[in-house]
Amino acid sequence: MAENPTIKLDAINKKILATVHLHADISNQELAEQVGLSPSACFQRTKALREAGYYFNFHTEMDLDRICEHVLAYVEFTLESNSAAHRKAFEAAIDGIPEFMDCLRLNDGTDYISFTCSPNVQALNTLCDQLSGDPALGVKNIKTRMIMERTKWYLGYPLEKLRWLDE
C-alpha cells in the first residue's frame, strides 16, 4: 500500500469508516443518510478516505460449508533463521500461494501463523511439503492445527472498543 496523505478523522469520517467496515455493500445514499451528509458530500469523503488508504479492499464472507468441500487450518511456521533474507523469502512464497489467506509474524518461538483453506488434507500437506522442501525458505518446523468447527465468524474489527489515533 502506497504512502497516502493523512485525512483528519473527524466524527463523520470515523462513522463512515466504522459503517463501511461492517457493511461494505452499503449504497452511498444509505451511508449518507446514516452519517448525516448529502450523497455528494458523503461520496467525496468516502473517496478521499479510500484514496488516502484508510480502507483498501472489499470482500464477501461465504458459507463454504454450503458451497464446496474444504479444510480450514492454522499452520504455524518456525524458520531456521530469523534473518531478513529468510523472512523475505518465506513471506514472498506465502504471498504467492492463495490457499494461505492470512499470514502473521509472531514472537516467542513460532515465527509465523497462517490461516489456510485447502480443498482437502492432502492438498494442504502438499503445500506444507512444498514450503518445507525449499531450502531457500529455511523452514525448520511446521505445525498444522485443523479447524474442527468455526464457532465464531470474523465480523470486523471492534472499532467501537478501540481508541482512535487522533484522540
What is the structure's pLDDT at 4? 64
What is the structure's pLDDT at 120? 97
Q: Torsion angle, CA of 70/105/54/158, rounded to 10 degrees?
A: 70
Digit-by-digit pLDDT tens for the chain (167 residues) are: 445 678 889 999 999 999 998 888 999 999 999 999 999 999 999 999 999 999 888 877 888 889 999 999 999 999 999 899 999 999 999 999 999 999 999 998 899 999 999 999 999 999 999 999 999 999 999 999 999 998 888 878 888 888 888 76
What is the structure's pLDDT at 142? 97
What is the structure's pLDDT at 1? 45
| pTM, full prediction | 0.81
What is the structure's pLDDT at 2? 47
Q: Domains (ranges, CATH) in the chain?
A: 11-60 (1.10.10.10), 64-146 (3.30.70.920)
What is the structure's pLDDT at 132? 96
Own/partner pairs for 146-154, CB < 8 Å, 24+ apart?
Answer: 146/71, 146/72, 146/73, 146/121, 147/71, 147/72, 147/73, 147/74, 150/72, 153/61, 154/61
